[in-house]
Homo-oligomer: A and B are copies of this chain.
Amino acid sequence: MEKDFIKIYNLIQELSWHFGAHGINGECCGDLSLVEYMALKKIEDSENITVQEIGNALNFTKSGASKIIDRLENKGYVTREISPENGRVCFVNTTAKGAEIASEIVKKYSAYVYEMLKEQDKAMVGNIEAVLKILVDSANGLENNLNGKFTQGGGKMTVFEMNS
């Protein structure tokens, strides 16, 4: 049983590398880095998201998030707008150009995924989607742990125990 989880972890890590910043060959798409692209996606998904929230969602400090938004703004993909309710807060939203480039990147990589999986039958495609959903949901469920006792646990190696 334990070995299964090691295998699963190694597979996830390899897949993640493939779709990560270096697996995609350093550049994500056009003039966007992977980090910028992920921020753009996040901004597109949530209306009037704040700088802080983007930082929290992507695991950046607020100053890091601010600079990522700087770059996206300079490229014309997002806008900053001071909240009418609270003058300290800054709403970030995508421009039409930003939404378009994001959708192009999604299209490009979806076509890549199609190429990966085109030999699978319809049932398996559904199964793959279901499995990924389980993985993503459960990873999001542990996010608090990951940022709390897990990663910042003072360098401790093993926090979770497998009692298999």
Contact = CB atoms under 8 A, between A and B. Distances in A.
Interface of A: 1-2, 4-27, 29-30, 35, 38, 41, 58-60, 104-117, 120, 122, 124-129, 131-136, 138-142, 145-147, 150-152, 155, 157-162, 164
State the majority secondary structure of interface residues on A.
Answer: helix
A118 to B, nearest CB: 9
Give 10 nearest A-B pairs by CB, closest first.
A11-B132, A16-B19, A111-B160, A116-B138, A16-B16, A131-B131, A25-B151, A9-B110, A9-B113, A20-B20
Contact of A152 (B15, B20, B25): B25
A27 B60 CA distance: 12
